[in-house]
Amino acid sequence: MIGSIETLIQMAHENKCTIGHAMIQYEAKTKQISEKEVVEKMKHNWHVMKESVRTGLEEPKRSKGGLIGGEAKTLHDYCAVQPNLLSGRNIMEAVSYSLAVAEVNATMGRIVACPTAGSCGIVPGVLKKIQELDNLSDEQIAEALMTCAGVGMVIAHRASVSGAVGGCQAECGAASAMAAAAAVELRGGTPEQAGEACAMVIKNVMGLACDPVAGLVEVPCAKRNALGASLAMVMADMALSGVKSVIPVDEVITAMGAVGRSLPESLRETARGGLAVTPTGLALNKKIFGE
């Protein structure tokens, strides 16, 4: 178990490589398999992720609870006709991809939990947009997924990646931090800059509640995937420009864990607080479950 981003950065420097490549070496050694096998497994995950983006955009369906479905396509279609998007084409297309995967999850379709099913759209949304932009190979994305894996491992160790333990900061926040670190590495940033992006993402989602309406991973989950994808891209660019987090990344993650533990139970996936208990949230719960 790797317990700090600082360790990931050291591993990368010792091996004169990215965090992603150092994680490939680590995984190969730990699992007693070749580095090629690690990359192949991640390429397989990447194919599933890309297919989930495609399915969400091309075959939109209403979710099991009926609360979401089709918004990814709506946004993607809007991006195609709007030449002057307020927040920029790259971000909004990444957001449409992340929504697509979240919608596929809500129809019980096939996704890669990354780190969880609720937050499954963020990493594929960001990485797919960067693959298109920079014409990257699936091998390069597989390495970036190992950057994500390293960051996710540290967050799970120092804090949590479970909404029931640490709120949505632990799910969509962790996914966004993973995606931001991978985005920095794909754009040629240093391991330190990957860590800064990770820190700056988590600082901005600190305390985010887990409050699923009717207890279903639909509302607000899909739109929190949109938040996570956009935040990852903004913070990756900030880190690449040289902006740093005043609080070191490992301290930020530890603080996130403490904040998560101090959240009331009503805001940790119980559907007893936040949006779940708004008049509309309660009415939807009644409509779906009749109680």
Q: What gap in Å lies between CA 273 and CA 232, rounded to an integer?
A: 27
* C-beta of 141 vs 205, nearer to ligand SF4: 205
* C-beta of 48 vs 113, nearer to ligand SF4: 113
* C-beta of 184 vs 221, nearer to ligand SF4: 221
Interface with ligand SF4, residue 253, by CB under 6 A: no
Cis peptide before 248 (omega within 30 of 0): no
Of 60-68, 93-101, 126-134, 210-218, the window that binds ligand SF4 (rule: CB under 6 A) is 210-218
Which residue from 38, 75, 55, 58 is spatially nearest to 120, judged by alpha carbons?
A: 55
Number of residues located near ligand SF4, criterion CB under 6 A: 14
Among 63, 107, 119, 160, binds ligand SF4 (CB under 6 A): 119
Tokens of 135: 């014409």
Q: What gap in Å lies between CA 273 and CA 228, rounded to an integer?
A: 21
Q: State in angstroms the smallest separation of the CB of 208 from ligand SF4.
A: 8
Q: What gap in Å lies between CA 217 and CA 203, rounded to an integer?
A: 24
Site string for ligand SF4, 259-288 (x = CB under 6 A): ----------x-------------------
Tokens of 268: 């940790």
DSSP structure string for 79-116? HHH-TT-TT-HHHHHHHHHHHHHHHHHHTT-----SS-
Q: State in angstroms the smallest separation of the CB of 260 from ligand SF4.
A: 10
Among 27, 93, 171, 196, binds ligand SF4 (CB under 6 A): 171
Looking at residue 173, the DSSP 8-state letter turns out to be I
Of 12-20, 196-204, 207-215, 281-289, the window that binds ligand SF4 (rule: CB under 6 A) is 207-215
CA distances from 260 to 168, 176, 203, 246 (A): 9, 16, 13, 21
Find the binding residues for ligand SF4 in span 49-88 (CB under 6 A).
none
* C-beta of 173 vs 191, nearer to ligand SF4: 173
Interface with ligand SF4, residue 168, by CB under 6 A: yes
130 contacts 20 by C-beta, under 8 angstroms: no
Among 68, 202, 224, 285, binds ligand SF4 (CB under 6 A): 224
Interface with ligand SF4, residue 27, by CB under 6 A: no
Among 95, 126, 172, 180, binds ligand SF4 (CB under 6 A): 172
142 contacts 43 by C-beta, under 8 angstroms: yes
Which residue from 163, 59, 169 is spatially nearest to 103, judged by alpha carbons?
A: 59
* C-beta of 175 vs 240, nearer to ligand SF4: 175
Summarize as ranges the residues that interact with ligand SF4 (CB under 6 A). 118-119, 163, 168, 171-172, 210-212, 217, 220-221, 224, 269
